Each structure stands twice: as structure tokens, then as C-alpha cells.
Copies of this chain bind each other. A is one copy, B any other.
Amino acid sequence: MSEAVALAVDWGTTSFRMWALGPEGEVLCERRAADGLMSAVSEGFEAVLERHAQAAGIGPDVPAMLCGMVGSRTGWMEVPYIDAPVALIDLGRHAARVAGVRRETRILPGVAQRGFAPDVMRGEETKLLGLGREDGLVLMPGTHTKWVRLEGGRLTRFSTFMTGEIFAHLRGAPNSVLAQALPSSAEGPDTDTPAFAQAVRDGFEAPEGIANRLFGLRASWLLDDTPPARTLARLSGLLIGAELAGAAKLHGALDGCCLVGAGPGAEAYGRALDAVGVARVAQVDADICVRNGLIRAARGVTLEDAGA
């Protein structure tokens, strides 16, 4: 492992992922752990990072580039947001150096949108840097899904929808009026069903009625004994469908959007786009994007350092 020249770390609220990179940006090894912000606060951020570096055999002279919520107010060090519009290629230059640690450690900034539609991101900007697209609409599913407009390599505008969080509250809160109507296990919605697709269309066509449709899930359970799995799929579909209507209003036609993500969440959004007849250009794995973004940012800094 002597040839590692950089550590790339995606450090979020609940997860830690680290890649050791070779001179050409090639991945020498990868580590994944549940050492998110919560646990890191108690163990100490430097201790967590060094524990993983040591386990991977990476010496203290290899610089590290970090992104994600580690740069937030509740993270290792608060790195000020960069304001949109911003050229993605400039992100690395704004990485902030963590003081008082042996290893040269930098944290990438998040991006803020100020004014009429205030919004923030931390971590997604690095995925966008790694995505390598210059233009178009990018859909990044998550608990707080982001729709991002790219123009000429610049991130010009974005909108976060807390659809996934609303779903989680209604799905999981024991005092939710929907609790009895939903599966008692922790299973996720089966989005590969006509019930999901129809609910997406219902939410998309009448987003203003969403709070009524949601209560309708309970009524339908009471009156028609709707199976819990079907109700769960409809809950997810209604919320995502309403979001698609909102995104279309804010960003214009959704056709040609690029879906960045993997797993059930990205699948759900992909199927939701299909349900309302939106053609997407590609689905890209978010892990690969964030790794490539960190590599780009790290290289940018290295080049800049070399030129300085």
C-alpha cells in the first residue's frame, strides 16, 4: 500500500466510506463503516479517520480529502457554503484545511442557494463533480432528494424535497394514523407494482390533494381491508408523485434528467419517472460519482499546490 497518494472520504451523518487512491486516481482499497457523525462525535473525528487509515495501511503523510456532513455545523469543522451558481471544478479550491492534525486533511464545502428559494447541500456537490456532466437536470434521490440544474459545468439552481423524511415519519411513527394500515415489519415499499405506479400518477396529477390522499390510505384500510403492502406502496408513490409535479413546476420538463443513485430509493424514483412517462438519459451509481468527485477535487488541490 506504499503507492497511495491520497485518501478520499465521504463522511455523512450515518456512514463513513474511505478510498485509498493511487497516482492515477485508481482505487487501491475501500473501507465502509457505520462511523457516521453521531459516533464520530464521541470517539473523535481524527481518531476515527486514523483508525481506518491504519487498518488500510495508509501512513500519516498521505493527504485526505473529505466531503459530506463532516463539514457541517455538527461535523468535524464547519466549512462555509459556496454560493450557487458555482463552477463544480472550483470546489476543490475551496476545501478547508483542518487545523491541529498531523495528516493534511481538507474538507470540501457544501453549496448554498440564497434568496427566494433558500437551499443547501453537503456531499451532493462532490457527486456532481464526479458525475462529469456539464448540462442538464440531475435527480439525486435520498431522504432529502435533490434536483439540480447544471449549465456549462456550473451548478446554477437546485431544489431539495424532504419527501423521504415525510415518508419515514408517516411510515415509522408509532402515533401515525397510518401505523395500523401499514406492514408491522420494517420492509420497504415494493415499487415494482401497479399500485405504486398508479399512486405516483395520482400524486403527480393532483399534488395539492396529497394530505387528503394520505388520509385516504387509512380510510381504504378501514373500509376495504387494503393489504398493508399495497398501502405502503401507495404511500411512497403518492409522495414521490407529488414531488415530481413540484420538480416539474420548478425546473421545467423533467425529460432527459440524469438519475444519480443506487438501491431501492433510486429504483423507486426511476419507476416513478416511468409511471409519468418521463424519459431519463441515464442512471449513474452515486458511490462512483462521489469517489470520482473526491479524486477530482484532490487532484485539483494537488495541481494547484504544485503550481503555487
A interface residue numbers (CB < 8 A to B)? 73, 81, 112-114, 117-120, 144, 159-163, 165-166, 169-170, 173, 176-177, 206-212, 214-216, 218-220, 222-224, 239, 242-243, 245-246, 248-250
Contacts and interface: CB of A to CB of B under 8 A. Distances in A.
Given A119-B215, A169-B176, A223-B114, A208 B246 contact: yes
A246 to B, nearest CB: 4
| Most chain B Cβ neighbours within 10 Å, of A176, A177, A210 | A210
B169 A215 contact: no
Contacts of A73: 222
Contacts of A169: 166, 169-170, 173, 176
Given A223-B114, A223-B118, A212 B160 contact: yes
Contacts of A248: 208
A211 B113 CA distance: 17
Given A162-B177, A219-B120, A222-B120, A210 B210 contact: yes
Contact of A219 (B160, B222, B223, B245): B160
A211 B242 contact: yes
Given A120-B222, A169-B170, A206-B249, 18 more contacts: A117-B216, A118-B224, A120-B218, A159-B209, A160-B216, A161-B212, A162-B211, A162-B212, A165-B176, A166-B169, A206-B246, A207-B207, A207-B208, A208-B242, A208-B246, A210-B242, A210-B246, A211-B242
Contacts of A219: 112-113, 118-120, 160
Contacts of A162: 177, 211-212, 214-215
A163 B211 contact: yes
B249 A144 contact: no
Contact of A239 (B159, B165, B211): B211
A238 to B, nearest CB: 11
| Most chain B Cβ neighbours within 10 Å, of A112, A114, A222, A243 | A222
A216 B81 CA distance: 15
| Most chain B Cβ neighbours within 10 Å, of A169, A170, A208 | A208
A212 to B, nearest CB: 5
